Amino acid sequence: MGRYVLRRLLQLIPVFFGTTFLIYYLVWAVPGDPFAGKCGERPCPQSYVDFMTEKFNLDQPIIVQYFTYMKNLLSGDFGQTFGGREIADLIAAAYPNTIKLALVAITIEGVIGLVAGVLTGLNRNGFFDNLVLVSTLFLIALPTFVLGFLLQKWLGVDLGIVKPTVSNPPSFSELILPGFVLGSASMAYIARLARTSIAENSKSDYVRTATAKGLPRKRVVGVHLLRNSLIPVITYIGVDLGALMGGAIVTEGIFNINGIGREVYRAIVTKEGATVVSIVVILVLIYLLANLVVDLLYAALDPRIRYE
């Protein structure tokens, strides 16, 4: 087990550097003047250009810039924006909101998706089954921003049940609507995955054995069936974590949440290269680690899987 984790961690290293270098290259090495528009309606004074070139090592080759940046990052220094603000502060202010939003989204999609999936998987072809199949199709087809605007308009403006935008820092109850919007497509996928997986496994031998030896239905489903059917769902949720953080750009924009997604979008638009790269590095790291944790969870859920 320990050796497996070590090997996987070692495999992560080239992927981590590859992905972050790709983004670094896209952000910094593009043709064009990095100081365009930085000083308002006039060209930047030479002293400013010299100072910034020195500060961000812009005169070095890109690969040297990248490794200088990484060296600083690994010692905990995220660097500064062009305006001189510490990027670490910026991230620290925005990150908790995004984590809250992602937690709410994952809870909503996990609970509703699993319940719908398990219920339909156990009774296939009923009315409820068809209802879930059709509504999941619609949820998959609805882009996040369309669903967000429609719900914001309907629940927030017309009916006035929820506040159309959230305050800063947001409370959990305010995040229910944005969380639902963010997790809606994944909720549909989870419901479908769980349905297929439950339906397949409920015909298997170990379920028949458990029923035959007289276990109550609740225990057969809750312990034997669910534990084995959860594997694809867990995989999906783990992979989804990365997607949720990226998809939060749209949701945070619509509901005016001061999170990492809005921060990174703003940074891309204002060409704050250092901020973009720092946030992307964190997102990539989370994504890779989430995938690793998912792989390790397999062993806990399915005793047949052993990592040597």
Under the rule (CB under 8 A), what is the footprint of other proteins? 14-16, 18-19, 22-23, 26-27, 30, 32, 36, 137-138, 140-146, 149-150, 152-153, 157, 242-243, 245-247, 249-250, 253, 264-265, 268-269, 276, 280, 283-284, 287-288
Task: Work out the angle at residue 70's Cα, subtended by the Cα atoms of residues 66 and 73, and round it to the nearest 5 degrees.
Answer: 140
67 vs 34: CA distance, rounded Å: 19
Closest distance to other proteins from the beta carbon of 251 (Å): 10
Q: Which is nearer to other proteins, 156 or 211 (CB)?
A: 156
Instruction: Return the number of the residue (174 or 252) whose C-beta is nearest other proteins.
Output: 252
Query: Between 32 and 76, whose beta carbon lies closer to other proteins?
Result: 32
The two tokens of residue 78 are 């995220």
Tell me the C-alpha distance between 243 and 183, whole Å.
10
* Contact of 97 with 257, CB cutoff 8 Å: yes
Based on C-alpha coordinates, what's the Rg of the chain? 24
Considering beta carbons, is residue 132 or 220 the nearer one to other proteins?
132
How many CA atoms within 13 Å lie on the side-chain side of 240?
A: 22
In the complex, least distance from residue 80 CB atom to other proteins, rounded to whole angstroms: 20
Which residues 6+ apart lie within 8 Å of 30 measured at CB? none
Give CA 161 to chain center in angstroms. Answer: 28
**Closer to other proteins by Cβ: residue 36 or 92:** 36
* Least distance (Å) between residue 200 CB and other proteins: 9
* Nearer residue to other proteins within complex by CB, 210 or 255: 255
CB 189, min distance to other proteins, A: 11
Q: Cα angle at 276 between 11 and 34, to 5 degrees? A: 120
Residues 178, 180, 186, 188, CA torsion sign:
negative
**Closest distance between other proteins and the C-beta of residue 215, in Å?**
28
Check whether the bond before 169 is cis (ω within 30° of 0): yes
Nearest Cα residue to 103 out of 171, 194, 165, 188? 171
Amino acid at 185: A
Cα distance between residue 276 and residue 180, in whole Å = 27
Whether residue 279 contacts residue 267, with contact meaning beta carbons closer than 8 Å, is answered with yes
Question: How far apart are CB 29 and other proteins at their closest, in Å?
Answer: 9
Q: How far is the CB of 167 from other proteins (least distance, A)?
A: 20
In three-state secondary structure terms, 83 is: coil
Q: Which is nearer to other proteins, 191 or 264 (CB)?
A: 264
What's the min distance (Å) between Cβ of 219 and other proteins?
28
Instruction: Return d(Cα 59, Cα 259) in angstroms, integer.
Output: 33
